């Protein structure tokens, strides 16, 4: 996967044969009558098969979930480039030329990019990727675009992703922070693709780690921060050893969540917490203070970057805060100089979503600009130069490339007559892109979410399927204006015909065909049992092919409004269908290519499945370039990157993969001239590829160029004309005002010139007078200098004559002294010669004496030598005789000992056999005893365990006993209190009984008095009841009489 330049080369070619498979999906296909045919290309194009490739042109989008997703890179000529992830690629963008100069594709088979890191010399890029089994990190050379051999994969780490990575200051080492469950920090010697050491940095609860970094001043010091985690490590002998720090002790109880940090240029470290506190440390990790300028707002400091005068931080709400260092204030240390809001440069000003949280900040090498990435996938720039910081009212926030979709792209279509593309997404926006100029033409936000979009071939009209209605719009120069609404809710598929005279819109399981310019219904196409997910027009616009979630692929005739053919496969949900018309054959035949959830690419003609290819992945979208003999497919595996596959056409099964999106591919289109491939995905990215052939396409005539006409309204032209006239009047009035101001300025200037001339003439006269005075002073000074020089010359001549005389006298004295010394030298030389001659004579006499003594001593030594030789010969003869006698005695003793030891050996052998038998018996006995000992040992261990358990039980029971005794004592005390209370209550009860007796007696007396009164009351109640009845009867009679009277 080594790609260079702007070209994304395929890593390898996959082969998917069309043989019968034993899988369930293949079995379902084989249930229908299948005729497998081999597509044969025309002879002229046979040599061009497999000669098609996709070359990266541009990517619109940003992957906001990547850690460190924006960096500045130094270019060779000094210009800065911006590095950021888009889809499943890393893009190097040159802002001055507005081109993406290099693309670093992700690894095939990975589940997405998780983190980026750039070396301090800005020459190498580390790309961390998530894999199903183990995380991986790849190193790229930014200048050449090549990928370094070997990937950084740690065998002892079970994490599937690296959450952060960082290079050391000398670009020699790399650290990667693994994800859950271990949160392991790994040190790499990345140029050798070898790990140096690792350590687990999280706590016992497995808190998340957010960032890691090297100290730029000391590459052996590593800092790691996370949720309640703040640690320093020292690299010693290839190992990461933790260093104690004060912060863990001071803030252990607060359990702060540290989200970002940065090493400042003044050899300091700032750490930001989720609560909005900024903590300052020195270069060795010693805690200094919490900065008073901290915003102290939740999630206001989510990312931080350093520059020479301080640091920049960003967080929720789209606010970027710039802090500068105060050299003369030891208490404040830093102050906030600027806090621009990013919402002004984003779609929030036009009714779109806000900028969201700031996820990454990068400072340009010249510190003139900030590159900012947001959680809504926007890439912005803010000026940082000193002059711009003084402008508090103007933030200067703008897009680096252009604004991007902040959610999944749901609709995509391409224009025929113009190099324009339209997209709609879940962010409720409809955008027009120019793929030739790599720019965004228009962007408009709506109140409803748009699910599908179609572009008229002329480039003047759009169809957008909103959640409430289907709207037809005119594409004006600066706006999209609706001119018709069709009551179709949540239309997820709409397509213009190739000629533009019709358009088809999906309404649940029905396809409705309309006339473009009158919006009259041509026909309603029914035949699907479930929702239709894809439609496509044939080349002559006479038929429509469709597929849906019911697993059916149908072909409709729009003239009759009836279904011509259909083919279905139960249990499969198809997501896309395309129609290919073979123009080379005598009879026009339409072939359908469908993909769905069964991981197969099928070729259907009429009601017959003619060919299929197993894709080993779910394909979501298709597009065919008939002139280039290529079929493009987009992978739509859930929660996995969505690459593009370029199949040879007619379909054979071979394909080349090209990394494109970090999420499933949602839409795929090819331009009318088969030159450009456009794909959109759920990651919000729009990828543009050039479709290249090794052999140029044969064209019968020159291609028609793109149209440059635009659509405007009469009111727009009137407004422009009115504004132009108003501007012309303003220009005339400004000219008059400027002429008047110029005349006033000329008169003022003339007066000022006269005043200045008079003033300067007076000053010139004064200067002339000063000049005359100075010239006189100069003449006087010259005269004084001449007199002084003459006197100095006389004095010098006298001194010179005196020095010559004294020198002559000194020379005469020195010559006399030299002669005397020469005479002394000659005398001493003669004395030395005499001494030398006497010494030589004495030496000769001594030598003769020593020679005579030597000769005498030598003669004596020769006599001693002869005597010693004779003694040696006699001693040798005696020794030889003694040796022979000893040898004879030794041989005799050896024979005797041999016989004795042979007898002893035989006895020992017999004893050995006997002992061997006894040893076998003892060994068996020993094994048996060993087994019994082991058994006893096990029994002892079991008994010890039982005893231990019983001891523990005894301890527990003793504790229970103590607690129970304590409780019994407490309860005894409680019982005693209760008994005393009961006695008191009994006494009170006796008193109450007496009182009760008295009350009972009084109650009896009162009852005796009440009984007569109760009888009287009852009689009165009966009397009252009788009176009520009589009254009611009286009322009823009155009512009857009133009725009779009326």
Q: What is the pLDDT of residues 63-115, one digit of tens each?
A: 999 999 999 987 656 677 899 999 999 999 988 888 998 999 999 989 999 99
Please provide the size of the chain in residues: 1046
pLDDT value, residue 22: 33
Count of beta carbons in the 10 Å neighbourhood of residue 492: 17
Determine contact, residues 219/233, Cβ cutoff 8 Å: no
Determine contact, residues 347/443, Cβ cutoff 8 Å: yes
User: What do you get for the CA distance between the two ends of the chain, in Å?
Assistant: 112
**What is the CA 928 to chain-centroid distance, rounded?**
67
Q: 1034 is written with which tokens?
A: 């009286």
DSSP state of 703: P
Q: 567 is written with which tokens?
A: 């083919």
Determine contact, residues 679/414, Cβ cutoff 8 Å: no
Determine contact, residues 576/618, Cβ cutoff 8 Å: no
pLDDT value, residue 868: 83
Nearest to 646 by CA among 677, 617, 667: 677
Angle among Cα 911, 913, 918 to the nearest 5 degrees reads 90
Nearest to 492 by CA among 576, 407, 421, 582: 576
d(CA 784, CA 777): 11
d(CA 437, CA 418): 12
Count of beta carbons in the 10 Å neighbourhood of residue 619: 27
Strand blocks (E) in 532-664: 532-537, 543-548, 552-557, 562-568, 574-581, 590-596, 600-605, 608-614, 619-625, 630-635, 642-648, 654-661
Count of beta carbons in the 10 Å neighbourhood of residue 34: 15
State which residues of the chain have pLDDT below 70. 1-51, 75-78, 246-255, 344-353, 386-395, 583-586, 628, 694-703
pLDDT value, residue 874: 82
Nearest to 283 by CA among 182, 236, 214: 214
DSSP state of 209: E
Beta bridge partners of 962: none
DSSP-derived pairing of the beta strands 209-214 and 194-200: unpaired
Residue reference for tokens 């001239």: 673
Determine contact, residues 673/625, Cβ cutoff 8 Å: no
Task: Please report the sign of the dihedral spanned by the C-alpha atoms of residue 926, residue 932, residue 934, residue 940.
Answer: negative
Residue 755, helix vs strand vs coil: helix
Beta bridge partners of 445: 429
Q: What are phi and psi of 665, to 5 degrees?
A: -75, 125
pLDDT value, residue 344: 57
Q: 328 is written with which tokens?
A: 């003369």
pLDDT digits over 149-158, tens only?
888 998 888 8
pLDDT value, residue 1037: 87
Q: 52 is written with which tokens?
A: 């098609």
Q: 557 is written with which tokens?
A: 């005739």
pLDDT digits over 121-143, tens only?
899 999 999 998 889 999 999 98
pLDDT value, residue 351: 59
Angle among Cα 575, 580, 582 to the nearest 5 degrees reads 160
Q: Which residues of 867-901 are buried (b: 16+ CB within 10 A; e: fewer)?
A: eeeeeeeeeeeeeeeeeeeeeeeeeeeeeeeeeee
pLDDT value, residue 48: 41
**Longest Cα pair distance anywhere in the chain, in angstroms?**
202
Q: 715 is written with which tokens?
A: 């009111």
Angle among Cα 660, 662, 667 to the nearest 5 degrees reads 60
**What is the CA 675 to chain-centroid distance, rounded?**
33
Determine contact, residues 184/159, Cβ cutoff 8 Å: yes
């Amino acid at each position: 996967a080594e790609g260079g330049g702007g070209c994304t080369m395929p890593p390898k070619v996959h082969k998917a044969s069309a043989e019968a498979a034993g899988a369930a999906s293949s079995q379902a296909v084989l249930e229908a009558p299948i005729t497998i045919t081999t597509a044969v290309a025309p002879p002229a194009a046979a040599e061009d098969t497999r000669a098609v490739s996709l070359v990266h042109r541009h990517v619109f989008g940003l992957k906001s979930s990547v850690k460190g997703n924006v960096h500045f890179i130094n270019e060779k000529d000094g210009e800065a480039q911006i590095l950021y992830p888009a889809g499943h690629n890393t893009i190097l963008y040159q802002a001055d030329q507005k081109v993406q100069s290099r693309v670093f594709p992700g690894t095939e088979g990975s589940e997405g990019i998780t983190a980026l890191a750039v070396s301090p010399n800005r020459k190498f890029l580390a790309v961390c990727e998530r894999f199903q089994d183990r995380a991986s990190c790849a190193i790229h050379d930014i200048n050449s675009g090549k990928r370094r051999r070997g990937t950084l994969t740690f065998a002892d780490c079970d994490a599937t992703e690296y959450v952060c990575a960082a290079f050391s200051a000398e670009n020699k080492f790399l650290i990667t922070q693994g994800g859950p469950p271990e949160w392991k920090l790994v040190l790499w010697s990345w140029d050798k693709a070898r790990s140096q050491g690792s350590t687990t940095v999280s706590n016992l609860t497995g808190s998340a780690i957010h960032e890691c970094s090297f100290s730029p001043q000391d590459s052996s010091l590593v800092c790691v921060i996370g949720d309640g985690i703040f640690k320093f490590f020292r690299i010693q002998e290839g190992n990461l050893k933790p260093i104690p720090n004060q912060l863990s002790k001071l803030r252990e109880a607060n359990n702060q969540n540290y989200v970002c940090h940065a090493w400042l240029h003044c050899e300091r470290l700032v750490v930001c917490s989720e609560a909005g506190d900024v903590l300052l440390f020195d270069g060795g990790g010693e805690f200094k203070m919490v900065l008073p300028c901290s915003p102290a707002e939740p999630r206001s400091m989510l990312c931080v970057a350093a520059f020479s005068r301080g640091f920049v931080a960003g967080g929720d709400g789209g606010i970027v805060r710039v802090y500068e260092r105060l050299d003369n204030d030891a208490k404040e240390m830093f102050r906030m100089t600027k806090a621009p809001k990013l919402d002004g440069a984003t779609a929030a000003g036009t009714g779109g979503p806000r900028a969201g949280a700031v996820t990454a900040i990068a400072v340009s090498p010249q510190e003139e600009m900030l590159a900012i990435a947001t959680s809504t996938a926007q890439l912005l720039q803010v000026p940082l130069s000193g002059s711009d910081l003084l402008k508090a009212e103007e933030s200067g926030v703008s897009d680096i490339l252009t604004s991007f979709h902040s959610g999944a792209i749901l609709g995509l279509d391409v224009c025929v007559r113009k190099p324009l593309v339209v997209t709609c997404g879940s962010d409720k926006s409809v955008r027009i892109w120019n793929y030739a100029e790599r720019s965004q033409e228009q962007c408009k936000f709506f109140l409803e979410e748009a699910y599908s979009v179609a572009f008229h071939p002329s480039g003047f009209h759009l169809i957008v399927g909103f959640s409430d209605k289907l709207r037809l719009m005119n594409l004006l120069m600066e706006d999209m204006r609706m001119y018709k609404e069709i009551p179709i809710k949540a239309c997820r598929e709409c397509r213009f015909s190739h000629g533009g005279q019709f358009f088809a819109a999906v309404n649940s399981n029905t396809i409705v065909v309309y006339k473009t310019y009158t919006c009259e219904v041509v026909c309603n196409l029914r035949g699907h049992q479930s929702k239709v997910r894809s439609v496509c027009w044939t080349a002559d616009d006479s038929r429509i092919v469709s597929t849906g979630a019911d697993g059916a692929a149908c072909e409709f005739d729009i003239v009759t409004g009836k279904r011509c053919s259909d083919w279905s496969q139960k249990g499969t949900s198809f997501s896309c269908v395309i129609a290919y018309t073979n123009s080379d054959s005598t009879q026009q035949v339409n072939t359908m290519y469908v993909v769905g959830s069964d991981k197969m690419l099928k070729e259907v003609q009429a009601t017959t499945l003619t060919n299929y290819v197993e894709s080993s992945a779910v394909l979501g979208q298709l597009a065919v370039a008939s002139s280039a003999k290529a079929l493009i497919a987009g992978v739509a595996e859930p929660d996995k990157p969505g690459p593009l596959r370029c199949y040879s056409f007619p379909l054979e099964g071979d394909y080349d993969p090209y990394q494109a999106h970090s999420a499933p591919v949602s839409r795929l289109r090819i331009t009318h001239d088969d030159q450009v491939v456009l794909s959109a995905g759920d990651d919000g990215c729009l990828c543009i590829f050039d479709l290249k052939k090794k052999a140029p396409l044969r064209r019968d005539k020159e291609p028609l160029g793109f149209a440059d006409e635009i659509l405007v309204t009469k009111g727009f032209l009137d407004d422009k004309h009115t504004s132009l006239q108003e501007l012309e009047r303003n220009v005339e009035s400004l000219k008059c005002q400027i002429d008047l101001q110029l005349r006033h300025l000329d008169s003022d200037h003339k007066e000022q010139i006269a005043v200045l001339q008079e003033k300067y003439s007076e000053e010139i006269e004064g200067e002339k007078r000063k000049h005359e005075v100075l010239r006189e002073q100069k003449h006087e000074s010259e005269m004084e200098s001449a007199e002084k020089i003459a006197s100095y010359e006389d004095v010098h001549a006298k001194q010179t004559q005196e020095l010559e005389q004294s020198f002559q006298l000194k020379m005469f004295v020195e010559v006399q002294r030299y002669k005397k010394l020469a005479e002394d030298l000659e005398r001493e030389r003669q004395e030395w010669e005499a001494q030398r001659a006497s010494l030589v004579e004495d030496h000769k006499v001594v030598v003769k004496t020593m020679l005579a003594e030597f000769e005498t001593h030598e003669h004596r030594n020769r006599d001693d030598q002869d005597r010693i030789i004779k003694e040696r010969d006699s001693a040798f003869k005696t020794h030889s005789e003694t040796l022979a006698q000893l040898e004879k005695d030794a041989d005799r003793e050896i024979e005797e000992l041999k016989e004795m030891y042979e007898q002893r050996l035989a006895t020992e052998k017999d004893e050995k056999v006997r002992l061997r038998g006894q040893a076998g018996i003892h060994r068996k006995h020993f094994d048996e005893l060993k087994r019994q000992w082991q058994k006893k040992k096990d029994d002892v261990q079991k008994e010890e365990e039982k005893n231990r358990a019983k001891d523990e039980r005894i301890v527990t029971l003793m504790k229970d006993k103590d607690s129970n005794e304590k409780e019994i004592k407490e309860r005894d005390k409680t019982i005693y209190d209760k008994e005393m209370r009961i006695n008191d209550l009994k006494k009170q009860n006796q008193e109450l009984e007496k009182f009760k007796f008295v009350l009972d007696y009084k109650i009896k007396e009162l009852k005796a008095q009440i009984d007569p009164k109760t009888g009287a009351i009852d009689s009165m109640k009966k009397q009252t009841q009788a009176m009520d009845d009589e009254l009611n009867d009286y009322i009823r009679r009155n009512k009857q009489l009133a009725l009779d009277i009326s």
